Amino acid sequence: MKCVLGVDVGSVSTNIVVLDEVLNVVESLYLRTQGNPINAITRGLKHIEKKLPDNVEVISVGTTGSGRILAGVIIGADIIKNEITAHAVAASREVPDAQTVIEIGGQDSKIIILKDGIVVDFAMNTVCAAGTGSFLDQQASRLGIPIESFGEMALKSTVPVRIAGRCTVFAESDMIHKQQMGHKKEDIIKGLCDALVRNYLNNVGKGKNIQPTIVFQGGVAANKGIHKAFEEQLKKDIVIPPNFSVMGAIGAALLAKQHVKVNNTNTKFKGFQVSELEYDASSFECTGCSNLCEVINIKNNEQIIARWGSRCGKWETMVI
């Protein structure tokens, strides 16, 4: 059984997918990064390996996400791609007529505009966490509601309240104020969903030509309250693909398969046994110029296997 591996390492979650030769999802894994991407990568590989049959042959590997370089070094990636490209490729594969991709993850959000499967415009919000998964987790915990029930409760609202959603601090204080006034939890939650969608459209989506078919992906797509709020404010149907939470990993896998095929090369995949090795990360400040870049070291058995982080590329050439 030949398969393709895709890994998406983010600040909140690490996602791994395995595609078969006809690019169907065979296995997928969504787990929390918990501030330790190396542990998440090795733990995820162990878990995926146990779920696969013994005769699996990995023919290509791709990585994406904020930890894509780290993942690529550890696993032996054939291609390392940014999140915009990976999510766009996956959306075009899962929803061929997609023209707009709304992606909201744990700590950032993005919008991608496609034309005939090609990215023609995009925007990202990495400054404010309002509307991201981590903020919704925090508010669900504060209200004593399981995050899995958050969206369902929003749908029960009959008189949603208006919440200030331009900032996480203001949103939280406004929610507390509305609670003190005696508003129902479901009305406050629906108001929060509406506010966060307004914030997204007024910031990330500002000036973008949002046309159907609109695809909603990322972990927050599981929230039915956010989904409904998008449909109400855009006045358009929004498609959530079956594998919405691991689309970045799917895109990385698709790009890896294409890369190996086009270049007619063998995979650089180091094997699932890399999950048994010990890795250490450290950093130092390069004083070669006024940029004072932070350079990352990755060591295995006390030997540096990779370095990156300098703007000029000086240290990247020292990858062993």
Calculate mean pLDDT across residues 300-304.
78
User: Are 207 and 222 contained in the same domain?
Assistant: yes
| Residue 223 shares a structural domain with residue 115 | yes
Mark out the alpha helices in the chain (DSSP H runs).
37-51, 68-75, 83-94, 133-143, 147-155, 168-180, 185-203, 224-234, 247-263
Domain match, 235 and 110 both = yes
Lowest mean pLDDT among 87-101, 210-224, 289-303: 289-303
Report d(CA 136, CA 133) in Å as an integer: 5
**Chosen domain end from 222, 240, 258:** 240
Name the pTM for this structure.
0.86
**Number of separate domains in the chain:** 3
- Give percent above pLDDT 90 in the chain: 43
At 79, the pLDDT band (50, 70, 90 cuts) reads very high
Return phi, psi of residue 187, to 5°.
Answer: -70, -35
> Which pLDDT belongs to residue 320?
38
Residues 156 and 209 in one domain: yes
SS3 label, residue 101: strand
State whether 261 and 135 are in the same domain. Answer: no
Query: CATH number of the domain that 113 lies in?
Result: 3.30.420.40
Domain check: are 230 and 264 in the same one? no
The per-residue pLDDT of the chain, averaged, comes to 87
Of 103, 142, 134, nearest to 12 by C-alpha is 134
Residue 128's pLDDT band (boundaries 50, 70, 90)?
Answer: low
b/e for 261-271, b at 16 or more Cβ within 10 A? eeeeeebebee
Indicate if 236 and 100 belong to the same structural domain.
yes
Secondary structure element (H or E) that encloses residue 284, with its range: strand 279-285
Q: What is the biggest distance separating any 2 CA atoms in the chain, rounded to whole angstroms? A: 66
Based on the fold, state whether residues 14 and 60 are members of the same structural domain.
Answer: yes
Domain assignment of residue 40, given as a range: 2-88+248-276
Based on the fold, state whether residues 293 and 221 are members of the same structural domain.
Answer: no
Shared domain for 114 and 227, answered yes or no, is yes
- Residues 59, 268: Cα–Cα separation, whole Å: 9
284/272 same-domain check? no
Quick one: 140 and 226 in the same domain? yes
